[in-house]
Amino acid sequence: MNTQPGSAYFIEEREETLVTHTLSVLVDNEPGVLARVIGLFSARGYNIDSLTVSEVSHERHVSRITIVTTALAEVIVQIKSQLERLVPVHRVTDLTELAKRNNDDKPLERELALIKVAGTGEKRLEALRLADAFKATVIDATTEHFVFEMTGRVNKIEQFIQIMQPLGLIEVCRTGLAALNRGPEGM
């Protein structure tokens, strides 16, 4: 059985792969700016994997939005271009691209997580041993549960959460990624 495409034109098959990029966006710290940035993603159907926002200069009233997004490479270029056109945006830096140019795998990326685990007896002891191995700090404890604080790379936090699952994981709260480029220069 010979199956031919429905077109007389040669159709090149391409494998398009999704890439994950960390974008750092300096914006005016004023009402509605975050909604406009997020609205850009929402209106175009772009996904946000992680989002953090904080004022970085009180004197200049400037905030930094760190966005992690996964899309086709062409879409990442579109996202950066569209972000740069928003009025309250001062600068858009693709930290992933900058890291690659500097021969690094990734920018410096860290996340904070609070992880609540219930347990008694042997499970309680195992949770404490593992927390020590992962350098997680106990910030709250009763006879029935712990709340661990952990800062690190995303994969380290995800691994710790996975290990805590059978030991009595109750809930997790994560901050989202904070990231900077390596080297002496700033954004």
Pick 108-179's CATH classification: 1.10.443.10, 3.40.50.720, 3.30.70.1150, 3.40.50.620. Answer: 3.30.70.1150
Tell me, what's the pLDDT at 117?
97
User: Where are the domains positioned within the chain?
Assistant: 18-101, 108-179
Tell me, what's the pLDDT at 186?
80
Mean pLDDT computed over 64-68: 97
Here the contacts of 43-49 (C-beta below 8 Å, separation 24 or greater) are 44/78, 44/82, 46/71, 46/75, 46/79, 47/71, 49/20
Tell me, what's the pLDDT at 144?
93
| Amino acid, single-letter form, for residue 178 | A
Q: CB of 172 within 8 A of CB of 115?
A: yes
Q: Does position 86 have pLDDT exceeding 70, yes or no?
A: yes
- What residue ranges in 89-186 does DSSP mark as E strands? 89-94, 108-118, 137-141, 145-152, 169-174, 178-180
Per CATH, the homologous superfamily of domain 18-101 is ACT domain (3.30.70.260)
Mean pLDDT computed over 103-121: 94
Tell me, what's the pLDDT at 21?
96
pLDDT band at 187; cut points 50, 70, 90: confident
Q: How far is 32 from 23, CA to CA, in rounded Å?
A: 19
Q: Does position 14 have pLDDT exceeding 70, yes or no?
A: no
Mean pLDDT computed over 42-69: 94
Regarding predicted confidence, which is higher, 8 or 30? 30
Q: Does position 12 have pLDDT exceeding 70, yes or no?
A: no
Tell me, what's the pLDDT at 16?
79
- Cα R_g (the chain), whole angstroms: 22
Check if 18-101 and 108-179 are the same fold.
yes
- pTM for the predicted model, two decimal places: 0.82
User: Coil, strand or helix: which one is 37?
Assistant: helix
How do residues 114-166 score in pLDDT, each as one tens digit?
999 998 899 999 999 999 999 999 999 999 999 999 999 999 999 999 999 99
